[in-house]
Structure 1
Amino acid sequence: VNYNKLNPFNHDFIENNNLSKVYQGMSPILSKEILFRHDNGKDFKTIINEIKESNHLYISNTNEKEYFHLIPLTHLQVTPQVYRLFDGLDQHFDLIDQKERIKQQTSNLLKFISNEYQKNITKLLKLQATLESSKNSDEYRIIGDLLYSNLHLLKKGMKHIELDNYYDNTKIMIDLDEKLSPKANAQKYYNKYQKAKNSINVLNEQINLTKKEIEYFDSLLTLMDNASYYDALEIKEELENLGYLKKKKKINSIRKNKKPAFETYYTKDGIEICIGKNNLQNDYLTFKHAHRYDTWFHVKDMPGSHVIVKGDQLDEYTIRLASNIAAYFSKGKNSSSVPVNYTLVKTLKKPNAAKPGQVILDKYKTIYIDPDASCLEELRKK
């Protein structure tokens, strides 16, 4: 105990931009909360009494980390999960322990996915730069035209020549290969033009493929963020099936015939909701397990879980709950007003030669949701 600091329960508010330097037992995060509330007209003693009398724990998830305290941390601008005090502590530290164990057991997998994602980002930048330079191929054609039009001025052994550019009425200095004849020099520029022109089509194809790879590995990073140990094993299996990772020689026949283990829950009204936690689960859930008149939910234009709700006539509560789940298990987890598409399974199609987890939507509706982990508390396990 630092006896130079004040007991917040016995002293009034003292102006300071870091109250943890003034009061005993006050963390930086609590200091920020008290200053935030004080700036918005809340009395210091009222805040301290709220802490003293609280028997709940408020857990707030942000993009950076998870925070918890005896009072809501309103300055974080997120909706907290609320627990009875010791239940909340168990929840918080169990989650930390679980994430640490998963991190240790799957760190190599996560590292591989992250490296592939970054590698393709770098590749895309290089391809785009090459494409930009290739777009100047018309310059080679113009030079070829000018050389052919002025063959009488060219002689073998010349290193360069200045000609009138009748395309824009300027002078142009052209480098020549002294070992080539005038016609061969002109043809050399035509060849450069044709090569650059052909490369544009190849580059565009490579850019599209690389963008798909970036999208794919970005989706895996999102899925890993929400993955249990067994979900991560299925992600590893997916990468092996696609040839990104080498399969182990030993084949586990039991695992080979096992169905992807998606999660199944029920709402308070007894409606079944299924959640895919990786691409293998998403594919199986949507195209094999779900009935064509079930309702499918997924965040719009970003990676995330497929959510299937049994039935096609859903009330507003169920639609919002399923949309919240889809938003929570997605890259938009820590965002606000996340768009979620929903439609009947019968309208979905699997793209040709597509990677697991990808679908084509036909008719769908969109709802905007602020993701909230408390939606999971409204579900009960199968």
Structure 2
Amino acid sequence: MEANFCRFALESLKQKILFTRLEKIYNPYPKLWTFKFSKQGFLCLYASQKGGFFFLRPNNLDNPSSPSPKVMFLRKHCKNRIVKSFSFFWPRRIFWLGFGDLFLELSLESEPKIVEKPILEEVIWPSLEEIDSNKEIFRIYPQISPPLRKFLASLSKERKKNFYLKLQVEKSFDFYIYENNILLWEQGSNVISKTDNPLEALSIFGEYKLKEIIGERFSKLKQQNREEKRLKKILLKLEEDKKKLKKRIELLEYGKLLQANLYNLDRNKKVSKVNVIDFTGNTITIFLDCKKTILENMENFFKQAAKGERGLKAIEKRKQQIQKQLQDVRIKQKQEIKIKQKAFFVPKKYQGLQIKAFISSDGFLILRGKNSKANHKLLSVASPFDLWFHAQDGPGAHVILRRDSKKQEVPLQSLKEAACLAALASYQKNAEKGKVMCAEVKNVRKVKGLSLGQVIVDKILHSFWIDIDPNLETKLRYLETKE
């Protein structure tokens, strides 16, 4: 997220969450944090040096069954506390939520942490001459980001001067949303959207990037599962309310007994309990509110019972509505389950290739060529830090596991699944075990004179000896691609 846009985004975020209550903290995925604020929904923060971003969303994500020690530590110090101050230093894309005695530091580059006080600096703007002469100027002045420097270099001298001045003093801009950034200027034709509302820009960009991080476009089935869970919770809550209301209705009997025995009691006396004769002739004790008279207690019993009756009718009506909604959701779930192939997101650069695309158990996109030509092209469009898999010592398909950066770690389960997909499309497909090599794409070379699909591997990263699961392709989520 570009630093200059971050200035407007943080100012808008401040207006939203200042003086709200931070109710809970979650860490659903590596580097991805969510913070629940009263009345404002969830703040999603993805902390990554190259691709950090944040945005507000109405719903939370699926979370692990048990929170990590880091999450428990943050909850201990910040849970259910009012945000009394909100400060930020936008050039470095960092902000602090103040709770009075401590601050929660949130950065787009590192994970959240507790600090004693924020470190605020004065924003200093370099001269245009300095910007032109120093390619690494963003290291000293982080607001002069590489995209900004590139844009300024494309302008005439007068337009550059005017825009640079406007950038320092202007309060409003249009925001251009791209696949990997939000800018205050138009740069290229592949704009996803344009808006003058920073929170709207954050939402569009954040939801788009979130789907990449999780590794899939949220399916209707997943949404319906969440809706089913929500409706079940409502039904449980209604049952609890129903029990409470029934207890209120039971107070009617106490009211009637007091009414029947009122002639024998001092109605204006305030006591904590009275002994009365019930309708079977037995003596029973009724506990009262000692702040009220016996007469007022009797009236209150009738009043509470009447409320219980009205509430019970409303709950029954609401329960029928929820049960109908739940029935509809379950019908839709069954329909979705029957659809074997769903059109999830596959990046444009892979569309048109003869490949098969899968989502690993951990949400990584895995691509496999269907023929030699596809293998050749797949290697051409893959990023240098993507992982390449191929059956060792024999022919087979090329398999690519996409990564967001060189530093992104891939869980062993996903590595094994990619290796197994490579083995299933090789000479080892009928074997129980297979040997598969893994390398970074940058270390796999296509050499002139070799047949299509044939390569030279300069450096092998891993060599896997795996169990070959013949049913893995049906177990993993399959993505449709346009060939």
Could you state the TM-score of these two structures normalised by the residue count of structure 2?
A: 0.24
TM normalised by structure 1 equals: 0.30
Q: Which has the higher strand share?
A: 2
